[in-house]
Amino acid sequence: MLSRISHFAGSADTHRTLEWTEYRGWTALSMRQGPLELTVVPAIGGRLMSIRHEGVELAYVNDALAGRVPDWSGAQWRTLCGEWDFPLWGGGKTWVAPEADWPDGAPQRDLDSGPYEVASTWFDSRSMGIELLSVVCRQSGLQIRRRIVLSARDGAWTTSHELCNRGASERPCAIWDVLMLRRPGKVDVAIESDDDWRVSVIPFPAKGPLGDVRESAFVTGSNGLVTTQCVEAVEFKLGVKNSPGVIHVEFDLPEGKRTLRRRFPVTPGARYAHGTPLEVFNAPELPYFEIESHGPLVVLQPGDSITLSVEEAVASDAAQLP
């Protein structure tokens, strides 16, 4: 429980701190190192709710839900969901793929919006980190463990997701890392293919009015890169295959320009729940877009678990990224 973790840690010489704080009305844990601050909200799906670099916020947070916590009543839940099937809190979270298996068309409530236990925190010369543990989901029998580790060496952080089947039946499933970011942004995805870049892009025609997004002005490419412009309030989604799992996001925000880099492992020949290991989604109304990373689809036997680790870093200039 939250009360079990009470220490504050800091190092004046390197400007590193790990401490409890309040963020947008939520009780939160803050990890600071140099120009970077990561803020985790355990009460709402164990989210990495804020990514700030030199005070510039990159993560999207839904202002309408700031500080709110579900009480699980039907009336409040409908208010939190608004026009959607589930609350769009913001930040980075762990979902369970495939989307087609979601109960009632929404992510499992306990895993996406429920409170996570702060299982441990640590602070030493090599890293600082937070480990979070969900309850066992009442809808699926699954449990999520998240470890967010900030390196003291280069300021990159790694989110390690573990999905465990605590139920009595096998479950086909996969880990799905989703990070909601502030619009506008440009997403560059590296691809390894000698074919035309369009071969590597899988459109999701049901997600928005564009149909085949490859024919729009929002997606362009070359033989080594797929570029998605998330700049307007137009809904679309695409998957990218033939990628080594390297993403660069360039932000041109009123507060300044920033670049976020993401890396994660892609398994050649593996089956992925949505057909590709990587997706980009652009929202139609709220000013955000998403970068999404998948682990392979497996049949998880009772008591078994799978993991996925995603490494990220932020800099003012892409050349400064580790």
Helix (H, G, I), strand (E, B) or coil at 313: strand
Contact, 208 vs 284, CB < 8 A?
yes
Which candidate, 203, 35, 5, places its Cα nearest to that of 120? 5
Contact, 264 vs 310, CB < 8 A?
yes
pLDDT at site 317:
83
Contact, 69 vs 43, CB < 8 A?
yes
Contact, 116 vs 45, CB < 8 A?
yes
Any idea what the CATH number is for the domain that residue 58 is in?
A: 2.70.98.10
Helix (H) or strand (E) holding 136, with range, is none
**Cα separation, 89 vs 68, whole angstroms:** 9
pLDDT at site 14:
60
pLDDT at site 275:
97
In sequence order, what are the beta bridge partners of 189?
226, 247
**Cα separation, 87 vs 119, whole angstroms:** 25
Has residue 51 been placed in a domain?
A: yes
**Cα separation, 162 vs 94, whole angstroms:** 9
- What phi and psi, each to the nearest 5 degrees, are found at residue 227? -115, 125
The tokens for 131 are 């480990």
Has residue 40 been placed in a domain?
A: yes
> How many CB atoms lie under 10 A from the CB of residue 43?
18
Has residue 88 been placed in a domain?
A: yes
Report how many domains make up the chain: 1
Has residue 1 been placed in a domain?
A: no
Has residue 79 been placed in a domain?
A: yes
Has residue 5 been placed in a domain?
A: no
Contact, 157 vs 80, CB < 8 A?
no
Residue type, 237: K
| Residue range(s) defining the domain that contains residue 250 | 10-320
- What phi and psi, each to the nearest 5 degrees, are found at residue 81? -70, -35
Has residue 123 been placed in a domain?
A: yes
Q: Using a cut of 0.85, tell me whether the model's pTM lies above it.
A: yes
The tokens for 135 are 């309850």
Which candidate, 156, 238, 160, 234, places its Cα nearest to that of 197? 238
**Cα separation, 213 vs 225, whole angstroms:** 16
Helix, strand, coil distribution of the chain in percent, nearest 5 = 10, 50, 40
Helix (H, G, I), strand (E, B) or coil at 2: helix
Question: How buried is residue 217: exposed, middle or buried, by Cβ count under 10 Å (0-12/13-18/19+)?
Answer: exposed
Has residue 90 been placed in a domain?
A: yes
C-alpha distance across the termini of the chain, in Å: 35
Mean pLDDT for back-to-back runs of 10 residues, the chain (322 residues): 52 81 98 97 98 97 98 97 96 98 97 98 96 98 98 96 98 98 98 93 95 95 94 97 97 96 96 98 97 98 98 91 86
pLDDT at site 249:
98
